Amino acid sequence: MIRIGDKIALLREKHGLTQEDLSRKLEISRASLSHYEKNRREPDYETIVRIADHFKVSMDYLMGRTEDPHSVLDPEVRDFVDSLELSDEKIIGTFSLTIDGKKLTVQEAKRFIAFVRAERSI
């Protein structure tokens, strides 16, 4: 899977821009752009929007949600993906939650959720 920094670098090179050129257009430092392209840091939301707007690609493409630079997820699908609540009984019963290619039983899924909650409370 290509990470956001790799996509930024590919887009920049495809458009014949140097890091200096693009950083100036995005109003960020060249060092910040370099960190993004090397996947040392991820750009903040506003920077991702500016990158998507500059290259006329979707944010979904930059974020790895689609391989089509001009495609966006259906709003209902995006809302679902962004707010998936694993502890919801409907989700556990409806979808195949897997680890290492093996489907979790409902009881395993509940234990997993309990484990994560315990870890967070520490």
Spatial contact of 116 and 122, defined as CB atoms under 8 Å apart:
no
Helix/strand/coil for 40:
coil
Predicted confidence band at 34 (pLDDT cuts at 50, 70, 90)?
very high
Alpha helices (H) in the chain, listed in sequence order: 4-14, 19-26, 30-37, 45-55, 59-62, 75-82, 89-94, 106-121
Residue 73 has pLDDT above 80, yes or no: no
How many other β-carbons are positioned within 10 Å of the β-carbon of residue 37?
21
The pLDDT score that the predictor gives to residue 72 is 63
Say which residues have a Cβ less than 8 Å from residue 110's Cβ, sequence separation at least 6: 92
Average pLDDT (48-68) is 87
Instruction: Considering the chain, tell me which residue range(s) the CATH 1.10.260.40 domain(s) occupy.
Output: 4-70
CA pair distance 52, 43, nearest whole angstrom: 12
- Return the C-alpha torsion angle 59, 61, 66, 67, nearest 10: 170
pTM > 0.75: no
Superfamily of domain 4-70: lambda repressor-like DNA-binding domains (1.10.260.40)
d(C-alpha 121, C-alpha 113), whole Å: 12
Q: What is the mean pLDDT of residues 86-109?
A: 77
